[in-house]
Structure 1
């Protein structure tokens, strides 16, 4: 992976092979919301810094998706990045990059910020 976060064609091929469920076009991953792109970018950045391997990431994402399906996720493809975020939280916690308490605090901060933000405005923490 290049450090400037612009994947090469070979990197995209490897990414698609490791993550066959990743929504992609010929140009690369596609996103329906800014948070999806941000979660994706954070994952690439952590991988580029050596925080985890693609094999570890693919396994963690697979587990998150299986857990969601076991809990009743109908797997229509619209929750893919929810699973991605779950996997990112799990692997970051498992690798000691963030604590469970830190994640909970950030979720609470985000929830409070979302509740005080008028509809249609960007949420700011």
Structure 2
């Protein structure tokens, strides 16, 4: 977590997520379930498979990396987002972030390889 409980004012809980992307992955999963794209049983099975993979951190610090991998796998298995498409989009965002001046918003259009007709 980002803050120790001793550093927080009385009555304030420690943050649930260490990084904004973790909260976004969590929210996307809930929203996609609410739309009926997968059941909680399917989700639990996918997440469990990721967390049980060799190399998972014993202290759980990589939990949301497994969460994201499980979400990607569920979406791919349902034909909603192919792994290659997810990887291509992640690459585009990484290039856009690298090309964006510090302090400016990261926009997909900042990707030097961005094509608006894609």
TM-score, normalised by the number of residues in structure 2 = 0.70
Match of 2:87 among 92, 95, 104: 104
What is the rounded CA distance, in whole Å, between the counterparts of 1:43 and 1:30 in structure 2? 16
What is the rounded CA distance, in whole Å, between the counterparts of 1:81 and 1:118 in structure 2? 28
Per-residue CA deviation, residues 20-61 of structure 1 (Å, 9 max, x unaligned), is: xxxxxxx9x921111111111110011001100001001100
Higher helix proportion? 1
Go from structure 1 to structure 2 and tell me whether the alpha carbon gap of 1:114 and 1:41 turns closer, same or farther (over 3 Å shift): same
Does 1:45 pair with 2:31?
yes
- Give the count of matched residue pairs: 95
Whichever of the two has the greater Rg, that structure is 2
- How much has 1:62 moved relative to structure 2? 0.6
Structure 2 unaligned residues grouped into runs of 5+: 1-12, 109-118
Q: Secondary structure at the match of 1:76?
A: coil
87-96 vs 108-117, which deviates more? 108-117
TM-score, normalised by the number of residues in structure 1 = 0.67
